[in-house]
Amino acid sequence: MAASASCISLVVLVALATVASAQLSPTFYDTSCPRALATIKSGVMAAVSSDPRMGASLLRLHFHDCFVQGCDASVLLSGMEQNALPNNGSLRGFGVIDSIKTQIEAICAQTVSCADILTVAARDSVVALGGPSWTVPLGRRDSIDANEAAANSDLPGPTSSRSDLELAFSNKGLLTVDMVALSGAHTIGQAQCGTFKDRIYNETNIDTTFATSLRANCPRSGGDGSLANLDTTTANTFDNAYYTNLMSQKGLLHSDQVLFNNDTTDNTVRNFASNPAAFSSAFTTAMIKMGNIAPKTGTQGQIRLSCSRVNS
């Protein structure tokens, strides 16, 4: 009976996911705003060119949006989710999105949502840093509220265990392989000392030379805002080096290294480390799935005139 019920619920979930994604279309703006995608791309390319770290910041911004009440640009609203522990003092890229929004409003007034701009910007950021491209389904609308409590509860953190990570991703309809692939976003960007301090001083599954090198800029007390590259091999290139680092016990965050720690995800890490094409394929698949988490479509929400506030 239990097996039958779970099969039925799975069918329902798949059906609901299909309905949600069917409401999004890569050609959504072809007629209403044909220059939208080119405008987003040029804005992202310029931002990443002047600050390579911005690519990782925009990608993270999209992730932190989708994991809290779906991909609805709620994270872009001033205050609220931005004040949540996983976001406060670490989210970046709001100015880039605002600038792109202003440019798009000038050519297509109240047509392109902030949620879609952020989703496309995440893809373009990966491409700008040498990573794979993918077709982004479009047609999301913007939320009229945000949820700080959900940001605190739903976003996995730097000290998460493997099972914590699996649960957080599963709750959003993502598989373990999606979780391992999306973690590969840490092949770019930086993290603050406060997020990995405990690891470099207290954990044993870390390369000793790697730990020692990090301690220089991350003392036992103070220095929590000091930055370190998540991928010390190719910090500003989107590649599969992240997984090679994990196999050498050089994952910066606790939540990185748990993916390769004599556990169930070890083989997936090995596969992505040895097969760049397998990683690229899994990553793009997972990004599309993540971008399809609970989008607002049709008459839901609104098309915000400014990404940082709801329309008056």
Catalytic positions, please? 64
Decide: 111 and 270 in contact? Cβ < 8 Å.
no
- Token readout for 233 is 């091999």
Task: Look up tokens 């798009």; give the residue.
Answer: 104
Q: Is 184 annotated as a binding residue?
A: no
34's CB contacts (< 8 A; 6+ apart) are none
Cα angle, residue 56 at apex, residues 50 and 58 outer, rounded to 5°: 85
Q: Is 72 annotated as a binding residue?
A: yes
Instruction: Determine the Cα–Cα distance for residues 251 and 231; give it in Å rounded to an integer.
Output: 8
Q: Is 256 annotated as a binding residue?
A: no
Q: Is 68 annotated as a binding residue?
A: yes
Q: Is 164 annotated as a binding residue?
A: no
Q: Is 231 annotated as a binding residue?
A: yes
Q: How long a stretch of residues is the chain? A: 312
Alpha helix stretches (DSSP H) within the chain: 2-22, 36-50, 53-66, 94-107, 114-128, 148-154, 162-170, 176-183, 193-202, 208-215, 241-247, 254-257, 266-274, 276-291
Q: Is 62 annotated as a binding residue?
A: no
Q: Is 234 annotated as a binding residue?
A: yes
Q: Is 186 annotated as a binding residue?
A: yes
Instruction: Determine the Cα–Cα distance for residues 169 and 182; give it in Å rounded to an integer.
Output: 10
Phi, psi of 227 (to 5 degrees): -105, 150
31 DSSP 8-state letter: T
Q: Is 98 annotated as a binding residue?
A: no
- Token readout for 52 is 């390579």
Q: Is 70 annotated as a binding residue?
A: yes
Q: Which residues are annotated as a binding site for Ca(2+)?
A: 65, 68, 70, 72, 74, 81, 187, 231, 234, 239
Q: Which residues are annotated as a binding site?
A: 65, 68, 70, 72, 74, 81, 156, 186-187, 231, 234, 239
Q: Which residues are annotated as a binding site for substrate?
A: 156
Q: Which residues are annotated as a binding site for heme b?
A: 186
